[in-house]
Amino acid sequence: MNREIITETISRQLSLNENSKILVVGLGETGFSVAKFLHQQGIPFAVVDSRDKPPLNDAMLQDFPDTPIFTGGFDKTAFEVATHLIVSPGVSLQEDSIRKAILLGAKLLSDIDLFACATDKPVIAITGSNGKSTVTTMLGAMGNASNVVTAIGGNLGKPALDLLDDLVELYVLELSSFQLERTSVLNANAATVLNVTEDHMDRHTDIVDYAKEKQRVFSGNGVMVINKDDPVVNSMRVENRDLYTFSVIKKTGFHLANQQGENWLMNAELAMIRQSELAVEGLHNVANALAALALGTAAGLNNVAMCNALRSFKGLKHRMQKVGRINGVTWVNDSKATNIGACVAALQGYHNKVILIAGGDAKGADMKGLVVAIEEKAKCVVLMGKDAGKIESAINGCVPSYRVENIQDAVKQAAKLAEDGESVLLSPACASFDQYKSYQERGDKFTAAVMELVA
């Protein structure tokens, strides 16, 4: 789309023009992508960040020297004059300055709104408590394997606005609840909520509110892809909308079925790929693959190419990633499991009991949701981080537990407990920010500590 069409679309759908007083809230990667986009469109804006020196402050000063930048707090005047707020996902909408500005009439927008106005290419939108990065990456590989130039991003990798390119034929966006709660004009060609389990309870009122924000991915009239195994998601279906379903339990839609002694991923009666051909393990990854096949079918991708992409997909780093096998013990990095549902899904993928390393910042979640899976699948748990005590209290001695200070100590303790043939699983069920910059750093330190065992 050329600049004139984008400008007209933004003006019509978002009431945004050169006379608007736009305030970009948050100067991380998303905020900087918004700044670049608005500058390209010739739309003036200002930026505010509560930090003294945001990560991209220097780049902002260099690339946009004439743009007002307010740092070290939320400048009251900047919010009072704003007609539009474009708030980065990492910033809570409950901030006083934001709430007051909205009450005074400021319109709330997101980078996804801008993106939706700036492309006429097909968009697939993926959200859910768990698995969305895996499904997004699977679908990206399927698109490119089908000779469709496919770009993936959003909550994963590049911000959505940085993906815009005239050569792209299909966009696949991973979207978080924080992105969706401030997005109003996205009309994806196909969309899914993979699952809903308790997460981000420090930012959402309750799980009902959280699910409501996830459901916004279905705004518009595109194909709905529904997980029939999740009652919360299954209740989101809308009458008179094109619908695909997936399930690892029910024999309908995209599902798992046994034929002549082998499990197959099916589309109705069409056998697509054997479960044994998938390069990733666990029933949760079968569900992810079925969701990706359903979305790819909705996007018109080639069946053979989609299945070939699944055969080659080895999984994501920090997501059920096998780090190594040392003295007969398998070590698995699932640091991306930052909520209860992800940890439960990881545990349920095992036939034999594992040693679980968990803990961190529970984000306000009730850790009792871990109890059944831990009792069934864990030999013992090694707990670390701010909310280790919450987990220990929740499991109430159903399996032995050990408290440690950090990930290095957790690996040492797990090594003492593990026996030949067993697995040690880092699947924290918590965010990392109490001790580490990110789940990636936590996973990297876990891997490094495991490698030290070899030395």
Residue among 132, 228, 363, 377 flagged as catalytic: 132
Distance CA 78, CA 214 (A): 30
Residue 416 annotated in active site: no
Residue among 200, 228, 363, 445 flagged as catalytic: 200
CA-nearest of 103, 116, 111, 91 to 25 is 91
Residue 155 annotated in active site: yes
Residue 318 annotated in active site: no
Distance CA 163, CA 114 (A): 12
Residue 278 pairs in a beta bridge with: none
Distance CA 43, CA 228 (A): 44
Distance CA 124, CA 105 (A): 32
C-beta of residue 171 within 8 angstroms of C-beta of residue 123:
yes
Residue among 155, 189, 227, 285 flagged as catalytic: 155
Residues in the chain: 455
* Helix or strand holding residue 264 (H, E): strand 262-267
At residue 164's C-alpha, the angle toward residues 162 and 167, to 5°, is 135
Helix runs in 318-386, H state only: 340-348, 371-377
Q: How many alpha carbons fall within 13 Å on the CB side of residue 330? A: 13
Distance CA 453, CA 249 (A): 40
Residues forming the active site: 132, 155, 200
